[in-house]
Amino acid sequence: MTTYTIGKSTDRIDAEAKVTGKAVFGDDARFPNMLYCKGVYAEYAHAKILSIDTSEAEKMPGVACVVTAKDIPGEKMFGELYIDQYPIADDMTRYLGDVVAVVAADTQAQANAAAKRVKVSYEPLPVLTVPEAAIGNEQVINPDYPDNICGGVHALKGDIDKSLRESDIIVEGHFETQFVEHAYIEPEAVTVIPSPMRPEVTVLGTLQAPYNARISIHRCLNVPMSQIIIRPSAIGGSFGGKIETAEAMSVRASLIALKTGRVAHYKLTREESIVESYKRHPINFDLQLGADKDGYIKGLKVKAIGDCGSYINMSPPVAYKVATLGPGPYRMDSLDYDCQMVITNNNHTGSMRGFGTPQAIFALENAMDMLAEKVGISPLEIRRRNLLANGDVSPCGHLLDFHEVSIRSCMEKAVKELDYERKYAEYKEQNKDPKRRIRRGVGIATTMRGASVGADGNGYDVSRVLIEVLPDGNVHVNLGLVEIGQGLRTTQAMMAAEGMGVSLEHVTMGETDTSRAPITGACIASRGTFVGGMAIRDCCDKIHKIMAEAVAKVYKKPVDDIVFENDRVRFADMDISFQDAVNACYSCDVNVTPTAVGTYYVPMLKWDGHTGEPFYTYTYSCHVAEVEVDLDCGTVEIIKMVGCHDMGRSINPIMADGQIYGGMAMAEGMAIFEDLGLDRKTGRLKNTNYENYIIPTAMDVPENVAIRNENPDPRSAFGGHSLGEPATEPGVGAITCAINMALGKAGYIRSLPADIDRVFFAGQELFGEKEA
């Protein structure tokens, strides 16, 4: 396919505003007479609220109002898929991030001071913070789920018992992962502007899923959807994190704005953001991997239990991705992958880049290395023997005959770049010396990532776009998929240029605005480029039809072979400019409107709840990592990572590389640093700001390498499918496999993070304490 715009590195359309400080982020909105909000947080992770006394707070200087759940006129709960989250806690608190009241005052300082005067009396209830203990506990958190299990997915293929029975080798292991913070550098902030004319609010701010926010405000505040206008600001990072929390804030601030008639500005401090926001799911895996004596996998059996925290949030779909993508890109006769999600009084857990798979791949890939060790072959060889190829059937039963199954070339390119084979041999030899204190290791992890939401969202995986071609020849795109830093607006513009057959300078992107862009599924699940691109293609095709009709009338020529390409429109023996074709539409004797709504929905996928075609298409990825472990103190240094991804086609290569680099760094943090310090007695997080919630700095991230292994996907409009999440998902597996190789024992460290304490004690256990 010849392309004119896509596939070429292009400057981001928002970069100029961002480097000059002009871009308006969540906390940057200011209006005259604006109110500042402050939430009052729960004192107990689980308690009955006996009473809330706001009278003293209301008398404080500058206070305009104090709202509680009683002020919410509509439903008391919201949620994306499961309606169980309280924007303001009503009768109970379910975790320490619950907000029980919100104060609004003329200044932030006044609001902060008044918030301290809200008096709440509680009757504390037992706090459940361990999922295994919560299952079937007599203390129920959400009465709709009396066993505290909110859902799960059980992926099944073949006869797992038979496969394990027939296996020569069975590897078993228990793996545990931690809560992980999205750690977007911008804390959540929203500003709500009420209309003086009618019950209407305009919500600005850090909203990754604007149409969902609209539903939530509608549900809780009884405002017609058409009179809830969501206009996301520039968003300072999200990674799946600015959905439910920001929505709860939008409901609270909208309530205040409607009540007072004043603009309500509501931002979180970093500590509030960490206390309130949802996290990556901690998941415990009990895994059995069976193979023949040569290491060819026969079956995988996994029982996974995830901590969904106080609200269901995205837990069942996360379980879906764990169970369907956790088995990796490997051939296997049978699969039994059961993932269940348990309600506790911890922070709720939801969307975060990878959506359950970085955890599952960490468990699986370490088990793969354990298998290799038992067979007596290298981690590279075990993967070579088992990786899927064209025409294979995926672990969940999907026949992969519709695109290039490129996982093998992804792995080979990545290992070559790292010089894996030489290093593996060299370090393996060095590590035989039990006295060696500074040790190196290399690790590999591979994944196949389902693009978009998958069969558990059958019928709901929709994207829409409105494109208007204006009289000046300008192609104006209104698309509600949000820019969260990944560069989506730029790729959308590039795809619109390509699809419309114009150069990029003729495309303008409307600010995301729910009153302008038609309703669309959210910018989640690495679906923006894929489904957004499909909708753009559909829309361009529709507009081309309208324009062809106009051109035929004006030029009186057949247009059966009309082509829109590179700012030209060719048909019959004509070669006119795009502007000429636009003029034809708006000419007084024709008057058609070159405007259309494009729609795309992912075809219904065959899925019976356990097996079938869990996703429409896949991204194949491999990360390899080299680490150095110091047994004297337990530090791990990442020497280098290589990420090789088949994103189908990279729409904008330099931005695609940026996704890969960023994904690897995020994986590094999860693998070796990040820990929120949950106190299991109280449900309290100890590490609520960046001095002790440790994410990688520029000094910690090495000279990583990004490789694009592009095989344009026939199932996608412009050949590109997903990259955002694939860029993170194999990294933790690769790093921990490398650490375990350095320790000389595959699968030794099975809990995250592999931080200095854990690595030090592992070294002590394996090699004894060195005599100083």
CB of 654 vs other proteins, minimal distance in Å: 4
Q: Do 666 and 353 meet the contact criterion of CB atoms below 8 Å apart? A: yes
d(CA 310, CA 675): 19
Indicate which single residue of 6, 7, 12, 424 sits in contact with other proteins (rule: CB under 8 A). Answer: 12
Nearer to other proteins by C-beta: 20 or 33? 20
State the amino acid at position 181 in one-letter form: E
Report which DSSP code applies to 25: B
Check residue 14 for interaction with other proteins (CB under 8 A). Answer: yes
CA 453 to chain centre: 11
Cβ neighbors of 650 (< 8 A, separation 6 or more) are 7, 656, 708, 710, 720, 723
Does 600 sit near other proteins (CB under 8 A)? Answer: no
Total chain residues near other proteins (CB under 8 A): 77
Shortest reach from residue 516's CB to other proteins, in Å: 23
Least distance to other proteins, CB of residue 703, Å: 7
Give the nearest distance from C-beta 706 to other proteins in angstroms.
Answer: 8
Smaller CB separation from other proteins, 328 or 653: 653
Q: Which is nearer to other proteins, 355 or 564 (CB)?
A: 355
Is 184:207 a contact under the CB 8 Å cutoff?
Answer: no
**Minimal distance in Å, beta carbon 754 to other proteins?**
12
**Residues in region 253-282 near other proteins by CB under 8 A:** 269-270
d(CA 581, CA 574): 11
Q: Which of residues 430-469 bind other proteins (CB under 8 A)?
A: 437
Please, what is the minimum distance in Å from the beta carbon of residue 424 to other proteins? 24
- Least distance in angstroms from the C-beta of 707 to other proteins: 13
Binding map of other proteins across residues 164-193, x = CB under 8 A, - = no contact = ------------------xxxxxx------
Residues 648-687 that bind other proteins (CB under 8 A): 654-655, 657-658, 660-666, 673
From the list 25, 402, 555, 586, which residue makes contact with other proteins (rule: CB under 8 A)?
A: 25
Among the listed residues 310, 363, 287, the one whose alpha carbon sits nearest the alpha carbon of residue 134: 310
Q: Which of residues 693-712 bind other proteins (CB under 8 A)?
A: 694-701, 703-704, 706
CA distance 240 to 238: 5
Alpha carbon distance 175, 752 (integer Å): 9
Q: Region of 591 please: left (phi>0), alpha (psi -120 to 50) or beta.
A: left
Comparing CA positions, the residue from 239, 654, 243, 244 lying closest to residue 485 is 239
Nearer to other proteins, 397 or 485 (CB): 485
Residue number, 658 or 744, with CB nearest to other proteins:
658
* 468 CB burial (10 A radius; 0-12, 13-18, 19+): middle
Which 3 state secondary structure label does DSSP give 547? Answer: helix
Binders of other proteins among residues 481 to 510 (CB under 8 A) are 484-487
Residues 211-250 that bind other proteins (CB under 8 A): 234-239
Q: Kind of pairing, strands 35-41 and 264-267?
A: parallel
Interface characters, 747-766, with other proteins (x: CB under 8 A) = --------xxx--xx--x--
Closest to other proteins by CB, 66 vs 642, is 642
99 phi and psi angles, rounded to 5 deg: -100, 130
Cα 31 to its chain centre, rounded Å, is: 32
Question: One-letter amino acid identity for 477?
Answer: V
Nearer to other proteins, 242 or 537 (CB): 242
Strand partners, 157: 335
Give the residue with the Cβ less far from other proteins, 316 or 358: 358
**Residue keyed to tokens 């992890």:** 445
The yes or no reply on residue 11 touching other proteins (CB under 8 A) is yes
Selected from 3, 4, 8, 28, the binder of other proteins by CB under 8 A is: 28
Q: How far is the CB of 583 from other proteins (least distance, A)?
A: 34
Q: Report the candidate in 368, 239, 342, 335 with the shortest Cα–Cα distance to residue 283.
A: 342
Site for other proteins in 39-98 (CB under 8 A): none
Question: Which of 2, 21, 556, 588 is the binder for other proteins (CB under 8 A)?
Answer: 21
For other proteins, the closer of residues 371 and 641 by Cβ is: 641
Within residues 398-437, the interface with other proteins by CB under 8 A covers 437
Rounded least distance, CB 11 to other proteins, Å? 5
CB of 206 to other proteins, least distance (A): 10
**Among residues 23, 130, 133, 590, which is the contact residue for other proteins, using CB under 8 A?**
23
ω into 61 cis (within 30 of 0)? no
Q: Give residues 609-638 in contact with other proteins (rule: CB under 8 A).
A: 632-635
Nearer to other proteins, 343 or 656 (CB): 656
| Structure-block tokens of residue 515 | 């009153």
Taking phi over 0 as left and psi of -120 to 50 as alpha, with beta for the rest, 703 belongs to beta
Which range in 11-19, 381-389, 498-506, 533-541 contacts other proteins by CB under 8 A? 11-19
**DSSP bridge partners of 646:** 620
The string of DSSP letters for 326-363 reads TTTTB--SEEEEEEEEEE-SS--B---TTTTHHHHHHH
Binding residue for other proteins, selected from 1, 2, 20, 591, defined by CB under 8 A: 20
CB 421 within 8 A of CB 582: no
Tokens 């995830």 found at: 306
CB of 596 within 8 A of CB of 478? no
